[in-house]
Amino acid sequence: MREVAVIGIGQTKIDEHWDKSLRELAGFAVLDAVKDAGLNQVDALYVGNMMSSSANHQSQLGAYIADWVGLRYAESFKLESACSSGAAAFRTALLAVASGAIDTAVALGVEKMTDSPGNEITAELATAADADWEITQGISFVALNALIMRRYMYEYGWTKTDFAPFSINAHANGVHNPNARFRKAITEKQYLDAGMVADPINLMDASPVGDGAAAVVMVPLEKIGTSSAYPVVKIIGSSAATDSMAVHDRKDPLWLRAAEISSRKAYNQAGIGPDDIDLFELHDAFSIMAALSLEASGFADRGTGPKLALAGEIHPGGKIPIATRGGLKARGHPVGATGMYQLVEVVEQLRHQATGTQVENARIGMAQNIGGSGSNIITHILQRV
Amino acid sequence: MREVAVIGIGQTKIDEHWDKSLRELAGFAVLDAVKDAGLNQVDALYVGNMMSSSANHQSQLGAYIADWVGLRYAESFKLESACSSGAAAFRTALLAVASGAIDTAVALGVEKMTDSPGNEITAELATAADADWEITQGISFVALNALIMRRYMYEYGWTKTDFAPFSINAHANGVHNPNARFRKAITEKQYLDAGMVADPINLMDASPVGDGAAAVVMVPLEKIGTSSAYPVVKIIGSSAATDSMAVHDRKDPLWLRAAEISSRKAYNQAGIGPDDIDLFELHDAFSIMAALSLEASGFADRGTGPKLALAGEIHPGGKIPIATRGGLKARGHPVGATGMYQLVEVVEQLRHQATGTQVENARIGMAQNIGGSGSNIITHILQRV
């Protein structure tokens, strides 16, 4: 298995892009990444996307996007695992290059959501839950997470206020990210006063959807010359795991078993542990998910995720910085693209390009992308060479 | 890159499965394949599917199916490239095992279409064409193929009757396949009398959709013991290529450039040429596509595909047997599953299990899966060890 490195990144600002098609949005991110890599040709394009077939009435995004960016005839597929589609594309590109079959691959995540009416998007997001056993009961995706958060507060004694630091940190960091959807800091009062979505999840616990695309270029480490314009970042851990789709089927609905499995495997591949991670781009689709990810990935004991946040340890200068470019909460959550934004941001940090929220001397970063309510979790660890 | 072999196959009959959910349909094919392989655990499940998010209101089929077949916690994603989603899953599984990251993988193709109203399925199939430049003009997917067939007849002088042998051969072979949707031979008169769908494509040129699932189990060749119950089949060529999505964007709309590229690369990997192929499971979604695939893959000169069929060379005893288990025309075309049916059938032939239509001494077989109107084509070559 060849070692694989990321040598190019590209991303578009997450926003309501009424003036751009999905093809253009995706294409600009790919072209930026290829340019950043200093290449003019790649062999394959792997596209992470959740809802193009329904929201955009367009299947086979592979051919759709490849042609537009000048890659007609290149290999190209779409990868989908709901909100973790982005990391699925990254992992697929990684294994293709690692296998030796492909020499230069682009992994892309893209989602174009604002063209569809809001009620359709809510229904489409619900397809990430179990159609047979959850959605037929009338529950929405936010409501599923609200049940988890409520139970978590009951079991471990946390109050709503204890989750404020997750949102405050994300928004404070997003201010410095030109690609973030929201670039405004918030206070604890603003967090507590926000409109309720599904009790106890309010607007400041929930990440905003949007249109966005992010991409990376990967090559075998052995083929990188000495001429690379940026510090090279190699992938030292990659693992994916599933869990039951329906939350009620899990022995412990407050434990992200798939995060535990995939992070443990990634640590083992990298030969490191949580203490070696300089920053962690986790999947804070809802603030409760930030807490659960920190616990299952070995950064906090069971039921103590909010403690880390309350102690200020999740800031860029803390013990385990998270959401360093705004996270899902402030950078935004264009579902199938999110995993790729996380990975692009890890590369930015390891290149020491994260202006305003740079983690000092960042050398090893981790990204974790969650599909469904914890049913498909993909963890990657990257290292500055 | 490790050599990879197929050691298990499973499939369900293609039909209107009103009494089975997508999860069950997929699950039975996976369980059959795993049992056929003599295993009780696999590491990863790669799911090829086109339209579950819209037709079945279910995304992330990976976690959805993995849990049901006892693979909770295994790695699992969905692959999508319209009608070539099945082969995309096969190729992804292949590269995962070849890379060394995964030791035992299942590739699955599944589609459940009959639960959705016919007009919705027509609209969903149309998402395989270019939403911006084809579908907005009001053209359906069949109509696009009808334009290609009409132009082909005009350019090369073939008449409608000249296409009859493709359909007659497929139906004659399907009689012997217990998993085929249609198991009834047809005559030239029945071909010519069939109702018109989109002139010149009539019902006997067009493949029927349906519900179906097919799966294989892959392992590294080096890890197969001497105890295998069946002849081992290894993968000696694998390649994918895209083309412009919109047919009118191609210099030559009568030439499947992506088939030419992917088959040529697969031949080169295998170190063989078209003359070495004992059977060819091609993508006869419409009879015109059978002709174009034969030409672009090197079995016939440009514009001469029907000649091979008229000369009887496409039968199981001919020079290049195609649709040996019924093809898309008679076996059926559950879109995202089709590529996996083709590969399962190639394995059946190479194991010499193709009762009734066995190609004598079959040693090397090829499968080619087409997404859209030739915009995403994936070719695999398999060899009996």
Helix/strand/coil (H/E/C) assignment for every residue in B248-263: HHCCCCCCCHHHHHHH
Q: Kindly determine whether residue A82 and residue B101, on different chains, have CB atoms separated by under 8 Å.
A: no
Q: Kindly determine whether residue B82 and residue A60, on different chains, have CB atoms separated by under 8 Å.
A: yes
Is-catalytic flag, B176? Answer: no
User: Residue A226 pLDDT more than 80?
Assistant: no
- Predicted pLDDT of residue B116: 86
- Half-sphere exposure for A346 (CA within 13 Å, toward CB): 35
Which of B77, B120, B248 would you mutate first to test chain A, the one with the most A CBs within 10 A? B77
User: Residue B377 pLDDT more than 80?
Assistant: yes
- Predicted pLDDT of residue A174: 98
Task: Let me know if residue A132 belongs to a domain.
Answer: no
- Predicted pLDDT of residue A138: 87
- Predicted pLDDT of residue B88: 98
Statement to judge: residues B324 and B305 lie in one domain: yes
- The last residue of one of the domains, among A223, A254, A269, is A223
- Predicted pLDDT of residue B333: 98
Task: Let me know if residue A168 belongs to a domain.
Answer: yes
- Predicted pLDDT of residue B231: 92
Tokens of B373: 């109107």
Q: Report the gap between the CA of B67 and the closest CA in chain A (Å).
A: 6
- Predicted pLDDT of residue B340: 98
CB pairs under 8 A between A and B: 208
Residue A321, Ramachandran bin (φ over 0: left; ψ between -120 and 50: alpha; else beta):
beta
Task: Let me know if residue B24 belongs to a domain.
Answer: yes
Q: Kindly determine whether residue B76 and residue A240, on different chains, have CB atoms separated by under 8 Å.
A: yes
Domain extent for A29: 4-117+209-223
Statement to judge: residues A161 and A291 lie in one domain: yes
Q: Which stretch of A198-202, A234-238, B131-135 has the lowest confidence by average pLDDT?
A: B131-135
Statement to judge: residues A186 and A66 lie in one domain: no
Task: Let me know if residue A128 belongs to a domain.
Answer: no
Task: Let me know if residue A130 belongs to a domain.
Answer: no
Statement to judge: residues B96 and B242 lie in one domain: no
Statement to judge: residues A196 and A291 lie in one domain: yes
Q: CA dihedral in degrees (A317, A318, A320, A322; nearest 10)?
A: -60
Q: Kindly determine whether residue B73 and residue A241, on different chains, have CB atoms separated by under 8 Å.
A: yes
Angstrom distance (rounded) from CA A277 to CA A183: 26
- Predicted pLDDT of residue A315: 98
Nearest to B92 among A1, A62, A92 (CB): A92
pLDDT band at B151 (very low <50, low <70, confident <90, very high): very high
For residues A110-134, average pLDDT: 90
Statement to judge: residues A372 and A257 lie in one domain: yes
Statement to judge: residues A246 and A354 lie in one domain: yes
Q: Kindly determine whether residue B59 and residue A80, on different chains, have CB atoms separated by under 8 Å.
A: yes
- Predicted pLDDT of residue A227: 65
User: Residue B117 pLDDT more than 90?
Assistant: no
pLDDT band at A116 (very low <50, low <70, confident <90, very high): confident
- The last residue of one of the domains, among A162, A191, A223, is A223
pLDDT band at B120 (very low <50, low <70, confident <90, very high): confident
User: Residue B227 pLDDT more than 70?
Assistant: no
Angstrom distance (rounded) from CA A84 to CA A111: 12
Statement to judge: residues A151 and A62 lie in one domain: no
Task: Let me know if residue B133 belongs to a domain.
Answer: no
The three-class DSSP label of residue B278 is coil
User: Residue A225 pLDDT more than 80?
Assistant: no
Question: From A91, which residue of chain B is nearest by alpha-carbon distance?
Answer: B96
Output the average pLDDT for chain B.
96
Q: Kindly determine whether residue A131 and residue B96, on different chains, have CB atoms separated by under 8 Å.
A: no
Task: Let me know if residue A379 belongs to a domain.
Answer: yes
Angstrom distance (rounded) from CA A44 to CA A63: 11
- The last residue of one of the domains, among B156, B190, B223, is B223
pLDDT tens sequence across A6-48: 999 999 999 999 999 999 999 999 999 999 999 988 999 999 9
Question: From A131, which residue of chain B is nearest by alpha-carbon distance?
Answer: B58
Global pTM reads: 0.98
Residues A97 and A142 sit within 8 Å (Cβ to Cβ): no
Q: Kindly determine whether residue B67 and residue A242, on different chains, have CB atoms separated by under 8 Å.
A: yes
Residues B354 and B197 sit within 8 Å (Cβ to Cβ): no
Task: Let me know if residue A182 belongs to a domain.
Answer: yes
Residues of chain A positioned with their CB less than 8 A from the CB of B23:
132
Residue A136, Cβ density class (10 Å: 0-12 exposed, 13-18 middle, ≥19 buried)? exposed
- Domain of A92, CATH number, reads 3.40.47.10
Number of domains in chain A: 2
Statement to judge: residues A176 and A252 lie in one domain: yes
Question: From B22, which residue of chain A is nearest by alpha-carbon distance?
Answer: A132
User: Residue B301 pLDDT more than 90?
Assistant: yes
User: Residue B180 pLDDT more than 80?
Assistant: yes
**With helix as H, strand as E and coil as C, how does chain A read?**
CCCEEEEEEEECCCECCCCCCHHHHHHHHHHHHHHHCCCCCCCEEEEECCCHHHHCCCCCHHHHHHHHCCCCCCEEEEEEECECHHHHHHHHHHHHHHHCCCCCEEEEEEECCCCCCHHHHHHHHHCCCCCCCCHHHCCCHHHHHHHHHHHHHHHHCCCHHHHHHHHHHHHHHHCCCCCCCCCCCCCHHHHHHCCEEECCEECCCECCCCEEEEEEEEEEHHHCCCCCCCCCEEEEEEEEEECCCCHHHCCCCCCCHHHHHHHHHHHHHHCCCHHHCCEEECCCCEHHHHHHHHHHCCCCCCCCHHHHHHCCCCCCCCCCCECCCCHHHHCCCCHHHHHHHHHHHHHHHHHCCCCCCCCCCCCEEEEEEEECCCCEEEEEEEEEC
For residues B97-120, average pLDDT: 94
Residues of chain B positioned with their CB less than 8 A from the CB of A92:
77, 92, 95
Q: CA dihedral in degrees (A152, A153, A155, A156; nearest 10)?
A: 100
For residues A138-163, average pLDDT: 96
Nearest to B58 among A127, A240, A243 (CB): A127
pLDDT tens sequence across A241-296: 999 999 999 999 999 999 999 999 999 999 999 999 999 999 999 999 999 999 99
Q: CA dihedral in degrees (A145, A151, A154, A159; nearest 10)?
A: 0
Statement to judge: residues B45 and B145 lie in one domain: no
pLDDT tens sequence across B30-72: 999 999 999 988 999 999 999 999 999 999 999 999 999 999 9
Statement to judge: residues B366 and B296 lie in one domain: yes
A157 CB-near residues (< 8 Å, 6+ apart): none
For residues A350-373, average pLDDT: 98
Statement to judge: residues A60 and A99 lie in one domain: yes
